[in-house]
Amino acid sequence: MYAAGTDTIAAVATAMSDSGIGIIRVSGDESIELVDAVYRNAEGNRTLTKYDSHTIHYGFIVDKDETVIDEVMVSVMKGPKSYTMEDTVEINCHGGVLMMRRILDRVVEAGARIADPGEFTKRAFLNGRIDLSEAEAVMDIIHAKNDFSLKSSVKQLKGSVSSLIREIREDMIHEIAFIEATLDDPEHFDLEAEGYDKILLKKVKTIKKKIKNLIDSAEDGRILSEGIRTVIVGKPNVGKSSLLNALVGEDRAIVTDVAGTTRDILEENISIDGIVFRILDTAGIRSTEDIVEKIGVDKAKNAVEDADLILYVADSSVSFDENDKAVLEMIAGKNTIVLLNKSDLTNVMTEENIQFIASYFDGSEKNRIIRTSMKDRSGIDLFIRTVKEMFFHGDLMYNDEVFITNARHKEALQNTYDSLVQVQKSIEENMPEDFYTIDLMSAYEKLGSIIGEAVEDDLINEIFSRFCMGK
């Protein structure tokens, strides 16, 4: 299949910035011997090769002339009980950038080479300690932006996705093997007489449903990990910037009584009740001769195209006009929550106006028209509940659920699903059993690409090239 490198690699495993502690990680067959060449214990002796695995030792890293470079703690982890399943040494030194580079240079001078990006995790994969989905979860943990993303990535590292994939593949390969066996021994097996087609069709439908559930979870997973791309739109001076400030909890946007104050897009990432929002506050939509304001309006229109959620803010204390209609035409058919703001003032928004607003959508927005006041924060709790109902299957309780958060995994699952559709079609059209195995095997292999079975070296290299140097 694949082969891990046999040479010894080294890299700084912590951030390349001044900090209290820095770690230089070394892995490979000669890692202990190479670090031993530059390490001295408190008595000035080379003793690293004599230590037991999973022990940590006080000492010094020295230069070629035995001059002390730094005071360190060195961890020794002998394979296969290490991250890479190889002999691994980690040098804990003072975290200055210059110091870390100097110690790394000494390890390289002793015979190691600089690791490629992600090479430690790549070796963990190639040596069989983790599969490919678990390896990708390592990078997801590093880049997690919120609690959900972190929890989901940790679960995937522990095998939540892998176990599901392996379970489904076992069901597939069992059927493939059974069909192949019967085709090789037709005298003892009569699939038609045993009604196998109906049995297989039922199993294929069951597997399809499992795959479809995982595909459907991908959008929720993306939203929960990256945040809901939320665009606030409306005509000028309706309270868009006040809404942003209320959600952020500080005066992020300038709020005045002057229409057209917001000229450019303001963006904030916030978390409310476990939901992460990537909120964009846009310029007010209206007809204007102001060139700068026109640019802001154009930017608002572009932002709407990529939004997961539109927050259309209307001023319920003033009459509905042509500018409101222009906004509605721009967001028609989008996932939208309508906020009738300034509800603390005298309401002039008629039921006819509300019906007109709802007519621009699919009908469900009738239940998403919420009266709000940024002055007393009324309606905000209902707004949060409405978002949950719009975007997530059931309550926002993800502790026991598995979400697909990786675009590569989603694509592989979709390809698997398409192959299973072909299997079902072949069964329903009474095609020869050979057709069943061809598409079942295709589904089996495509599903296996998620965990690293039957994938090309180029894909492996591409995935790990995205990792940071010391991981």
Q: pLDDT of 18-32, one tens digit each?
A: 889 999 999 999 999
Strands 68-77 and 55-62: antiparallel
> Does residue 197 fall inside a structural domain?
yes
Q: pLDDT of 66-115, one tens digit each?
A: 999 999 999 999 999 999 999 999 999 999 999 999 999 999 999 999 99
R_g (Cα) of the chain, nearest Å: 30
Same domain, 148 and 19: no
Identify the bridge partners of residue 256 per DSSP, sorted by sequence position.
none
Look up the pTM and report it.
Answer: 0.69
Which is nearest to 72 in space by CA: 110, 32, 22, 114? 22
Same domain, 150 and 37: no
Same domain, 214 and 268: no
> Does residue 456 fall inside a structural domain?
no
Chain position carrying tokens 């959620």: 309
| Full domain range(s) for residue 67 | 9-130
Taken in order 188, 189, 194, 199, is the CA torsion positive or negative? positive
Same domain, 217 and 267: no
Residue type for position 332: A
Backbone angles phi, psi at 311, to 5 degrees: -105, 100
3-state secondary structure of 1: coil
Taken in order 308, 364, 272, 376, is the CA torsion positive or negative? positive
Same domain, 378 and 243: yes
Q: Which two tokens stand for residue 67?
A: 């001059």
> Does residue 342 fall inside a structural domain?
yes
Same domain, 284 and 354: yes
3-state secondary structure of 128: coil
> Does residue 459 fall inside a structural domain?
no
Low-confidence ranges of the chain (pLDDT < 50): 1-3, 250-263, 289, 365-366, 394-398
Same domain, 324 and 359: yes
Q: pLDDT of 341-365, one tens digit each?
A: 888 888 887 778 878 887 777 655 4
Same domain, 271 and 351: yes
Element (H, E) at 424: helix 407-428
Our count of domains for the chain comes to 3
Same domain, 418 and 431: yes
Q: pLDDT of 377-395, one tens digit each?
A: 888 888 888 887 777 654 4
> Does residue 467 fall inside a structural domain?
no
CATH number of the domain that residue 189 is part of: 1.20.120.430
> Does residue 380 fall inside a structural domain?
yes
